[in-house]
């Protein structure tokens, strides 16, 4: 599994997805190594390469050239463009208004490299650009492993290239996130577990719940390149808003257990991994109406418009007043666990000729 260089220094949902998938594949006697994209790889040791994050194509181009191995991709295809073009502040926000979604991602990649914040693995990316690089990768991939049908269709709509795919859902650790009915929920405790950055939209969430009857607990570290956004959130927050730094998953359990509502009002979500975990722990869910969330949560979540603090507040209040419906919880334990995801990953691998029979 070849992953971004910052997978462990800037942790996100993909960190959990990669680690859980690898650990569970090992349980099924499949040997897996997780390797950062800038590390040396002895490709001949492997039957298959599994990439993550197609939005970072420079990380992928280098290795498909060098390895000449069959490869699959978990795209984790997030569309940052609405936030970047219309709501990002500062000079970057002004520049991004004049660029396409792919142009924005290209500029971000080149900027990280020039500023020494990341490695540019493939120099050809510099002249090919984001769009052409992704299309080349899609054409050469053996199989795509999106987290939903919705994610695949968005990829097709953007790049107009059909490729074989198998949906591999995101999941929860069912041994860890197991609700105890003995613990009484706090009806006024609202939880948001996510890295603190513009795309996750904590600023508008704080605007929505500032000086209300609710206690909002925000758990997550500031994104490294969005310290100003984090400071803005802290400066805006009233006394009923609490901030807690990133916690390992086992330490999140008690917060999920206590909160009545988990809210993720992002500008975009492929899944909303923390929302799956919270729902498994008995929370009612408020989640963005942008992205692929409806394929996971259907009618069993309350949706909000990330643009509107008023709409976010109304959604939170509605969710807080609803009795807990365990149908979503049961759905998660049936379909959205890492064990289920791993079984489906193995079935996808088996579709690749000359790998496993």
User: Rounded to a whole number, what is the distance in angstroms from the first to the last CA of the chain?
Assistant: 21
Of 72, 308, 117, which Cα lies nearest the Cα of 204?
308
pLDDT bucket at 356, cuts 50 / 70 / 90: low
- Sign, CA torsion 292/140/165/39: negative
pLDDT bucket at 87, cuts 50 / 70 / 90: confident
State residue 140's pLDDT score.
Answer: 96
CA–centroid distance for 140 within its chain: 24
State residue 116's pLDDT score.
Answer: 84
Segment 157-163 shows an average pLDDT of: 95
Q: Which residues contact 161 (CB under 8 A, 6 or more apart)?
A: 135, 138, 139
Q: Distance (Å, rounded) from C-alpha 146 to C-alpha 181?
A: 34
Is the backbone of residue 317 left (phi > 0), alpha (psi -120 to 50) or beta? Answer: alpha
Segment 158-169 shows an average pLDDT of: 96
pLDDT bucket at 89, cuts 50 / 70 / 90: confident
State residue 91's pLDDT score.
Answer: 85
* Residues of the chain above pLDDT 70, percent: 99
State residue 86's pLDDT score.
Answer: 86
Please check the confidence at residue 357 and state whether its pLDDT lies above 70.
no
Of 261, 312, 272, which Cα lies nearest the Cα of 296?
272
Residue 344 burial (10 A CB sphere; 0-12, 13-18, 19+): middle
pLDDT bucket at 115, cuts 50 / 70 / 90: confident
pLDDT bucket at 255, cuts 50 / 70 / 90: very high
User: Per DSSP, which regions of 170-298 are E strands?
Assistant: 186-193, 215-219, 241-244, 259-264, 284-288
Return phi, psi of residue 179, to 5°.
-70, 135
Q: Which residues contact 335 (CB under 8 A, 6 or more apart)?
A: 169
Q: Distance (Å, rounded) from C-alpha 51 to C-alpha 35?
A: 10
Radius of gyration of the chain (CA): 20
Segment 15-35 shows an average pLDDT of: 96
Of 234, 237, 178, which Cα lies nearest the Cα of 207?
237
pLDDT bucket at 119, cuts 50 / 70 / 90: confident
pLDDT digits (tens, 9 = 90+) for 201-244: 999 999 999 999 999 999 999 998 899 999 999 999 999 999 99
- pTM of the full structure: 0.93
Return phi, psi of residue 347, to 5°.
-60, -35
């Amino acid at each position: 599994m070849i992953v971004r260089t910052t997978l462990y220094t800037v942790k996100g949902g993909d960190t959990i997805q990669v680690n859980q998938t690898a650990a569970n594949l090992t349980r099924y006697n499949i040997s897996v190594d997780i390797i950062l994209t800038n590390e040396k790889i002895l490709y001949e040791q492997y039957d298959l390469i599994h990439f993550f994050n197609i939005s970072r194509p420079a990380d992928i181009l280098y290795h498909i050239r060098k390895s000449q191995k069959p490869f699959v991709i978990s795209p984790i295809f997030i569309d940052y463009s609405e936030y970047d073009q219309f709501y990002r502040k500062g000079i970057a926000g002004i520049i991004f208004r004049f660029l396409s979604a792919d142009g924005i991602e290209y500029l971000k990649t080149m900027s990280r490299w020039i500023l020494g914040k990341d490695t540019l693995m493939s120099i050809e990316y510099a002249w090919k650009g984001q769009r052409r690089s992704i299309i080349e990768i899609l054409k050469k991939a053996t199989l795509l492993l999106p987290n939903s049908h919705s994610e695949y269709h968005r990829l097709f709509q953007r790049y107009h290239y059909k490729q074989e795919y198998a949906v591999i859902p995101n999941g929860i650790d069912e041994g860890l996130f197991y609700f105890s009915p003995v613990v009484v929920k706090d009806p006024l405790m609202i939880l948001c577990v996510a890295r603190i950055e513009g795309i996750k939209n904590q600023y508008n969430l704080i605007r929505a719940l500032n000086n209300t009857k609710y206690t909002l607990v925000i758990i997550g570290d500031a994104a490294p390149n969005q310290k100003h956004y984090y400071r803005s959130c802290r400066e805006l927050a009233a006394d009923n808003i609490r901030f807690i730094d990133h916690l390992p998953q086992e330490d999140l359990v008690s917060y999920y257990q206590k909160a009545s509502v988990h809210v993720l009002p992002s500008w975009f979500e492929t899944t909303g991994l923390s929302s799956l975990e919270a729902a498994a722990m008995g929370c009612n869910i408020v989640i963005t109406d942008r992205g692929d969330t409806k394929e996971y949560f259907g009618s069993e979540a309350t949706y909000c418009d990330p643009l509107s603090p008023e709409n976010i507040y109304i959604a939170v209040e509605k969710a807080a007043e609803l009795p807990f419906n365990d149908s979503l919880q049961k759905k998660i334990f049936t379909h959205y666990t890492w064990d289920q995801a791993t079984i489906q990953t193995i079935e996808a691998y088996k579709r690749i000729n000359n790998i496993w029979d």
